[in-house]
Structure 1
């Protein structure tokens, strides 16, 4: 099933805007929020949503389930990569690398990432379904 080019463009543009908002929120949490378990979980969730949204931006015609699986796979791979110590060395040489690769393994992240991606994919699916409905269908839905 192929999406019409207009739908792909619209989905890609929405993903660009959403990614900018998510990255901004992540930077606010990283820089301004006091360090706590809650801010760590929020940052992890925003990271996973940013990965998902970035994939939507790149592959706007793909199904949310596929993009969700890829996003979770990326997040888990990055988390496991942290066990090697390489991200710490990269962050020492280039500090912004820590925002993408992290620095220390945390098993809790392996739970947060899939949960955040499921929420992002559900929102994506809901938005696209609503956009696909005609005004008349929306009116019937609320009746």
Structure 2
């Protein structure tokens, strides 16, 4: 549980940093990192809530959630547009639909899945060897 909470925190810090200091990074990173990291955070959030479930559960829910948020950006009622203009609303709900964001979300979830499977899950078995 702690590893997922730490992953969420680190991902948020990296995501906010990638937006705040975008001028430091090459364009390919500054243009894509925020959405990739956001989707990774969503994956880690689902793993935090449902650790006992299979990794595919978090992948599936992560994709559904991220795609749902992105497609919700097609809805342009005044109240939700106003909400999206706030800092928190913008970070959670985004601002406008971009097809490329769907690919960024898949990449972010795939990276988080890889970290989970090959670092977190593996460490669960290797740490017991050292005790």
TM-score range (shorter-chain normalised) is: 0.7 to 0.9
Larger CA Rg, structure 1 vs 2? 1
Match for residue 38 of structure 1 among 18, 29, 32: 29
1:104 aligned residue = 96
2:46 aligned residue = 55
Where do 5+ consecutive residues of structure 2 fail to align? Answer: none
* Cα 1:40–1:88 shift into 2, 3 Å: farther
In structure 1, how many angstroms separate the alpha carbons of the residues matched to 2:72 and 2:31? 18
Structure with bigger RCO (C-alpha 8 Å, 6+ apart): 2
2:114 aligned residue = 122
Aligned Cα root-mean-square deviation (Å): 1.9
Where do 5+ consecutive residues of structure 1 fail to align? Answer: 1-11, 137-143
The TM-score, its normalising length taken from structure 1, stands at 0.78
The TM-score, its normalising length taken from structure 2, stands at 0.85
The aligned runs of 1:1-143 (5 Å cut-off) are 12-34=1-23, 36=27, 38-86=29-77, 87-92=80-85, 94-127=86-119, 128-133=121-126, 134-135=128-129
Q: How many residues align?
A: 124
